[in-house]
Chain A
Amino acid sequence: MTIAPPAADAIAEEPARRGLLRYAVSKVGGALLSIAMVIVATFFAFRLLPGDPVRALAQGRNMTPEQLDLERRRLGLDKSLPEQFLEFVGQTVRFDLGTSYEYKRPVLDLIGERIGSTLLLTGTALVMAVSLGIWQGARAGWKPGSRFDKFSTGVSLVLWSVPTFWLGLLLLMVFAAGIGPIPGIFPTRGIESVDAPDGFGYVLDVAKHMVLPCLTMVAVVYAQYLLVMRSSVLDEVGQDYVTTARAKGLKDDEIRRRHAVPNALLPTVTLVFMRIGFVVGGAVTVEAIFSWPGLGQLFYEAIRVPDFTLMQGTFLLITVSVIVMNTLADVIYHVLDPRVRSA
């Protein structure tokens, strides 16, 4: 992660941009420091978890003492903690996340195989939840107490309080299995059919598999965007510029969309960027219900073993992406809102 230094004369010419650059550099520096701390914390945090991974891997299998010791040596668990730590740091800075205990394969490969499907699912769900939340939140906040406000806020809060697992299974049973007159048109598992067609047919096949998991994720999380949007629009409703816009004779809808919403968008942008960081982590529960071959599932399995290297790897990936996205949010905030610049 290197930052290309811009040409010196460009900086001299534009003090404003220079300010932004300095701001960005300080933020990136902070982020790098956080990442370094996360690397250290990751190693020790996971070593605090109880359990002997070798015994856990051998559970219910016939393993002789000799073989158990052999496995411990192979996994480097016979080395002292400081030795293991140095090795871990050395590997991590070289982007080597080690070899999974259970799969016996490089963690980076395992992540690489699953990150695509996770990003597809959580990314789509995020975009949908954000759009739905912003749209409903803006309208609800514009006319607080209206029927639309009560209805949309109510529904979203109910869905927000529903356990993901329960909702997912319910959707699975109703729309994948089919109940009564409702046919089970959606698949019960996975990201694609076993005999999936090629080309465009494949895209459609994946889309069909995505409907239920995506719906579950959106339903459960969109309330947070709605509420943040609603409250910030609510703040704008009484502002002078809104009154001015009304006085100019603009239609109510137009005032909301053209004037109030852009001003109210900032807190939501922050929230969205924070959530993007977590997108990488996938959604453990949703992935488990719909057998979605993603990272969340990988992380969950890693914890069960416990597969230290795999846990470290996935955890690092998730924390680093959250840090990167937060830093990005800070920088973008700076661009979006002039008020932050002077602060």
Chain B
Amino acid sequence: MRKWIGAMAAMGMLALGGLVAPAAQATPGAVTADPKVIRVGATQAMDSMNPFLAVRLVSSSIHRWMYGYLAVPDSKTLQPSPDLAESWTTSPDGLTWTFKIRQAQWSDGQPVTAADAAWTFNKMITDDGAKTANGPAVEDFASVSASGQDLTIKLKTPQASMLDNPVPIMPKHVWEKVGDIAKYEANVYPAVTSGPYIAVEHKKDQYVKLKANPDYWRGAAKIDELQVIFYDNPAAAIVGLKKGDIDLIGRLAPPDFDALKGDDNIVQWNTEGRRATYLQVNHGATTSDNKPIGDGHPALKDPRVRQALHYALDKQKLVDEVQNGLAKPADGSIVPPMYKDFFWQASGDQKVGFDVAKANKLLDDAGYKKGADGIRTMPDGSRKLQFRFSIHTDTPIEEKLAEYLTGWFKELGITLTTKRLDSSKFTEETGTTALFDIAISGWSVNPDPEEVLATHLCSRRPTASGEGGGTESFYCDPQYEALYQQQLKELDRPKRADIIKKMQERLYTDAPVIALYYPNNLEGYRKDRIAKVTSIPEDKGMLYGGSGYWPFYTLEAVSKDGAAAEDEGSNTGVIVGVGAAVLILLGAGFFLSRRRKTVADDRE
């Protein structure tokens, strides 16, 4: 027992002693560290380095910094602009696209050709295992072929969103050797890439290290190394940013963003976001073969009731109280205002403002009479207007939202009860079994809004046995369907935008979903480390949260200024370390003296 304690003490000393040494070493390290390194924090770890499999946002971001695409959003307008494809043409029927792949190099020196792109797409078409990450992107592809630098893609049906294709072009000469792509981890470094960065190291659940690609066709990035460091919780990441363990972090919730206030070295980056938060209303959910499903309240089938609910929402209040003012109230639908070309908002008579009297009148006129208890009933008196509001467990923002909604609906004579569900149950009840009345929802929209529009199509409804699916509303509206098909074929951007706006207008007036607000994109970075970063779009756009590699390609590091501050830091480290060492020595001395004493006692 005695020896054991002694050994423990020795181990403890070793461990504590370690605190001193690295602190002491840090000073020379920091001064001689010439390479310009920027560290990005992420509150999510990589799920896979294989772009065919990776689905998490952090993974697709990192892959966007590593690989080239056919086209990327322009940094100013967000319109598709050349990337690996330097130009393209479309056949008059819109079914054949021909891309000219630019003369560029893979990071191992091999030339980039159309064969690389063709291999990537064909792999996804022929191998189900390669569909995991971006399967829908090739679903409409009939065939893909390559000749030199020319890539020809034949489509089954016209697809105007073609240039927003999210598939990274992979080097054929490296990836064709992979056996089973569905099981391939892609942990070979340095990775062979054609984008601004090359992954050189990945420690699972810890970090990814990327080096600037010196042969990048746009020119090498201005920093030498980009590190992505994973945090499990946002609070720790905020501490990391304040301390300088990381230099930038995106995707912050309002309270975490507010926690950055008052730090002179940190820039709070608050811009329009790419997300819409909306209510999903069970307006009579049906399956893909048009049979009713779920237990939605019959009153919600009535568009006048949905409209009345819409009038009862004080969206500005929600923004102020629920989002700490860091959002924009929604007078439109599912496309947020940052996408200027496609954003639609209601005006004039169409606009639904906060007007409880009007809401009450709508319900009165529609025959929903108030009972003695002040609660309205169906016109035939069969049921009271008592709705459930489905939210996720442990989400303070949604809890608050539920409180406000309950209060407002009460003024209409409608009872709202909150139903808290864990996320998988929530997804099931609001997306498959339709066991809900009103649910909270939201969607992050890409520069081309095609995919969010598709989530409200008839075909996205599940079958009765729960197959298929992917709907955000159980919506199935002939007018909306027709507009969707029309915009798919429309290759003229302004004309297509008009159609897409009509689709949003339809969603706004028919109200299967009611947009509440567009949360801001909240990020923070250290200005003592990052000298310059270009957002996307360049005018007050996003950094980490944005699509494409612009912000991270254009990063510039502050050179050497930080050295003085770091010196000071490690000095305090040394002082504390020395203090700890003295304490340990004292403790050890005490132990030893006691030990000697007891040994002497034993001998007596």
Contact = CB atoms under 8 A, between A and B. Distances in A.
A257 interface: yes
Nearest to A168: B236
Nearest to B246: A188
Interface in A190-213: 190-192, 194, 197, 201, 203-205, 207-208, 210-211
Contacts of A169: 235-236
Interface stretch (A7-15, A19-27, A175-183, A335-343): A175-183
Contact of B8 (A61, A127, A291): A127
A207 B18 contact: yes
Interface stretch (B86-94, B148-156, B423-431, B584-592): B423-431
B584 to A, nearest CB: 13
A103 interface: yes
B9 to A, nearest CB: 10
A177 B243 contact: yes
B382 interface: no
Given A56-B427, A62-B136, A131 B245 contact: no
A113 B204 contact: yes
B402 to A, nearest CB: 20
A60 B275 CA distance: 11
B424 A53 contact: yes
B230 interface: yes
Contacts of B423: 51, 56, 59, 304
A65 to B, nearest CB: 3
Contacts of B243: 176-178, 184, 188
A259 interface: no
A187 B468 CA distance: 46
Contacts of B237: 188-189
Given A177-B243, A291-B231, A291-B236, A65 B468 contact: yes
B55 interface: yes
Interface residues of A, number: 76
A59 B428 CA distance: 10
B444 A60 contact: yes
Interface residues of B, number: 78
A68 B55 contact: no
Residue picked from A99, A184, A257, most chain B C-beta under 10 Å: A184
Interface in A236-265: 251, 253-254, 257, 261
B37 to A, nearest CB: 9
B371 interface: no
B459 interface: yes
Given A70-B135, A189-B231, A194 B428 contact: no
B427 A103 contact: no
Nearest to B455: A62
A223 to B, nearest CB: 19
Interface string B442-462: 011000000110110001101
A251 B18 CA distance: 38
Interface in A11-67: 49-53, 55-67
B166 to A, nearest CB: 9
B245 A189 contact: yes
B467 A69 contact: yes
B229 interface: yes
A127 B7 CA distance: 12
Residue picked from B25, B207, B233, B428, most chain A C-beta under 10 Å: B233
Given A176-B243, A188-B240, A297-B232, A51 B427 contact: yes
A62 B445 CA distance: 10
Given A55-B431, A183-B573, A291-B230, A194 B47 contact: no
Contact of B233 (A61, A62, A291): A291
Interface in B377-436: 422-425, 427-428, 431-432
Nearest to B288: A65
Contacts of A287: 232
Interface string B115-133: 0000000000000110110
Given A60-B444, A185-B573, A305 B47 contact: no
A288 B204 CA distance: 15
A266 B443 CA distance: 58
B23 interface: yes
A155 B47 CA distance: 42
A172 interface: yes
Contacts of A290: 232, 236
Nearest to A261: B1
A192 B206 contact: yes
A55 B233 CA distance: 24
Interface in B240-254: 240, 242-243, 245
Interface string A103-133: 1110000000110000000000001000100
Contact of A104 (B182, B206, B427): B182
Nearest to B569: A183
A103 B455 CA distance: 25
A130 B5 CA distance: 12
Given A188-B239, A291-B230, A102 B470 contact: no
Contacts of B231: 188-189, 291
Contacts of A210: 15
A36 B185 CA distance: 33
A94 interface: no
A147 interface: no
B285 to A, nearest CB: 15
A68 B182 contact: no
A337 B1 CA distance: 18
Given A52-B466, A65-B288, A289-B233, A185 B183 contact: no
B598 interface: yes
Contacts of A58: 470
Contact of B131 (A70, A172, A201, A304): A70
Interface in B14-38: 14-15, 17-19, 21-23, 25
Contacts of B131: 67, 70
A188 B230 CA distance: 11
A11 to B, nearest CB: 34
Contacts of B358: none
Nearest to B576: A185
A141 interface: no
B572 interface: yes
A227 B131 CA distance: 56
A304 to B, nearest CB: 7
A137 interface: no
B209 interface: yes
A208 B428 contact: no
Contact of B229 (A127, A173, A194, A253): A194
B53 interface: yes
Contacts of B240: 188-189
Contacts of B139: 64, 66-67
Nearest to A214: B15
Contacts of A57: 55
A334 interface: no
A68 B8 CA distance: 55
Contacts of A62: 136, 451-452, 454-455, 470
Nearest to B472: A60
B604 to A, nearest CB: 9
B5 A131 contact: yes
B365 interface: no
Contacts of B135: 63-64, 67, 70
A71 interface: yes
B96 interface: no
Nearest 7 Cβ contacts at the A-B interface: A51-B424, A65-B468, A204-B18, A293-B205, A62-B451, A183-B572, A50-B425
Interface of A: 49-53, 55-72, 74, 99, 102-105, 113-114, 127, 131, 135, 169, 172-173, 176-178, 183-192, 194, 197, 201, 203-205, 207-208, 210-211, 251, 253-254, 257, 261, 287-293, 297, 304-306
14 contacts: A52-B428, A60-B443, A63-B469, A65-B470, A74-B128, A105-B183, A114-B204, A169-B236, A184-B243, A188-B240, A189-B237, A190-B207, A194-B209, A291-B230
